[in-house]
Structure 1
Amino acid sequence: MSWKNLLKWGFFAALLLLGARYLWVHSEDFSKMVEIRPVFLPFLLLTPVFFIGLLGILNKTLVEAFGVRLTFLEWFGLQCITNFGNYLLPLRGGAGTRAAYLKMKHNFPISSFLSTMGATYLINTFLAGAIASACIVRIGDRVEHWGVTLALLLGASIGLLLLMIFPFPFRFPDRGFFQKANLV
């Protein structure tokens, strides 16, 4: 058996042992799962798969803009590995795994990867802000002063995000303070 196979099986065994330890330590949490009504189980099981699929399609689309075509197994599997790595490794280590795979398999430059990662964060932030704004407006019917305040704050943050995405042309005046401060 080669070192590569030995390393693979050792890593797999370590993951199995860690999973078994987690089940042993948190067994009381799993006893509460019996209380979940079976009607909700498909929804609870398919929701994470749906979001992994959406993020995978987003990453596939962003990478295709740079000329790299990913198969279904690549974009879906890569997103699964990225999510798994983000749970296990510090500092969003799953993204590093995705970068390494794209670099080795498709010779994808790290600068282009960082561009796709930045675009992903902007899109996620915008969508989360829009969903949160809708929720706050809905909650605002029940709690008057907090709903309006939070809606204004989220509206301002979404406005700033839109300014980052779609900047308007701005030019400093050619004279006065801006010229003295070398801002022109």
Structure 2
Amino acid sequence: MNEFLRQLEIQRWDDHRYYHHSTINQSLHLVSAISFVVAYGLLFIDPPLAALLAWCVSMTTRQAGHFFFEPRGYDHVNEATHEYKEQIKVGYNLRRKVVLMAIWVLLPLVLWFDRSFFGLIAPSTDLWGYARDVGWLWLALGAGGLVFRTVQLFFLQGVTTGLVWATKILTDPFHDIWLYHKAPLKLLRGQLIDPAHGRRPAR
């Protein structure tokens, strides 16, 4: 258990120091984390609605922060190139995220032209039914993406690394709220790059 927690802390710290320099990105992660927590609660009440919230709000704000606001030049704080960080990324690096987000966009289009989704579901008869079916597909995509990368890591880096990464992903919303709750204030002060970046947050 101690080794598991140690690796979890390492993965969290590497993710923060390599990919969260921008306070805009951090602020968007805060919005994402809060909406993810709400989506977690909705999972027990209305799973497709939870998926719609998670993908349309949580994932879009989260990935917009990475794609549009995070610096990609040489990282002087960590003495690492963007290419190096992409290469050692445990989970979904930007290239893998492009593939995942492309599938996310394509699924509703496929469903629009085939409401039965190749005979796997009962065809919807109205727009709300279609939206809920999209939610179910996106829920399956989220779960499938998590399981796929976890099992892939089992073979690439070991079972412990895969389980640690899956745990990190599932608990990231709670951790991000704690980690980035001050980011909007820093942004309002005009600090586009976190002045405390590179220093471990106090526990």
TM-score by length of 2: 0.27
Please say which structure displays the higher CA radius of gyration.
1
TM-score by length of 1: 0.29
If each structure's helix is expressed as a fraction of its own residues, which one has the higher value? 1
Higher RCO (CA 8 Å, separation ≥ 6 residues): 2
